[in-house]
Amino acid sequence: MIPRPPEAPFADVEVRVRGAVAGHLPRGLAAAARTAIRIADRALADAGREPGTRGRMAGLACRAGCSWCCHQMVGITPAEQALLAEGVLALPAGERARIRGSVAAAVNRTRGLDQRQWWAARLPCPLLAEDGRCAVHSTRPLPCRGYNSADAEHCRRSLEGEATRVPVLAVQWGIYGHAQAGLAQALAAAGIAPGPVSLVDALAAVLA
């Protein structure tokens, strides 16, 4: 099962996603993922209007092209995989070929690694372009949307092996984590194995 995120003031997102996804599953897995993302995005926007959260969100260091965090094991549901497939298959043929090669290399290098070993190997996500941007940013999965940092230097030092704690906005991480948990629960209730499957393995299946 998808790991349940820590309890947070926005844990009700999980309940809302679970109920809404159940109604959207007949439209397909990608539609279910979009529903979960839409609810999480709205919850984050609502949280951002609260004075305490608004100030912390303004201090986030995450910017386009900053990809220190994009070197870790990411677990996703089949619904997120279906949405990723839409994004990947819409790319130009040359870009798909580049990603296919990166995925094949990543599958070979990550086989048997746990999460800590994966991070230590410093393996970039196959979806990263040369400029550090995600090739399918609009269809990226929930964990990628939830991860954040208030200090990019901490992210760099962590990737390079230093034992440093990356300062994250717990509200954002919690909202998207609970959204993924609700999505997984809705899939399981519908008789669909919820995963997780690693992002790399999911891409390998999409591009097979």
More confident residue, 143 or 52: 143
Region 139-167 average pLDDT: 92
Predicted pLDDT at 11: 78
Output the CA–CA distances (angstroms, integers) from residue 193 to 26, 73, 200, in the order listed.
16, 20, 18
Predicted pLDDT at 4: 52
Share of the chain above pLDDT 90, in %: 66
Region 129-154 average pLDDT: 94
Q: Do 30 and 86 contact (CB within 8 A), yes or no?
A: yes
Q: What is the pLDDT of residues 97-120, one digit of tens each?
A: 999 999 999 998 888 888 889 888
Region 7-21 average pLDDT: 85
Q: Do 199 and 125 contact (CB within 8 A), yes or no?
A: yes
Indicate if the pLDDT at residue 51 is higher than 80.
Answer: no
Output the CA–CA distances (angstroms, integers) from residue 194 to 1, 33, 175, 177, in the order listed.
6, 12, 19, 14
Beta bridge partners of 75: 198
Q: Do 90 and 139 contact (CB within 8 A), yes or no?
A: no
Name the residue ranges covered by the structural domains of the chain.
Answer: 12-53+63-206
Exposed, middle or buried, 146 (CB in 10 Å: 0-12/13-18/19+)?
buried
Least-confidence region, from 28-37, 167-176, 185-194? 167-176
Predicted pLDDT at 115: 87
Indicate if the pLDDT at residue 1 is higher than 50.
Answer: no
Indicate if the pLDDT at residue 59 is higher than 70.
Answer: yes
Distance CA 56, CA 67 (A): 21
pLDDT band of residue 20 (cuts 50, 70, 90) is very high
Output the CA–CA distances (angstroms, integers) from residue 140 to 56, 73, 116, in the order listed.
24, 14, 22
User: What average pLDDT is seen over the chain?
Assistant: 90
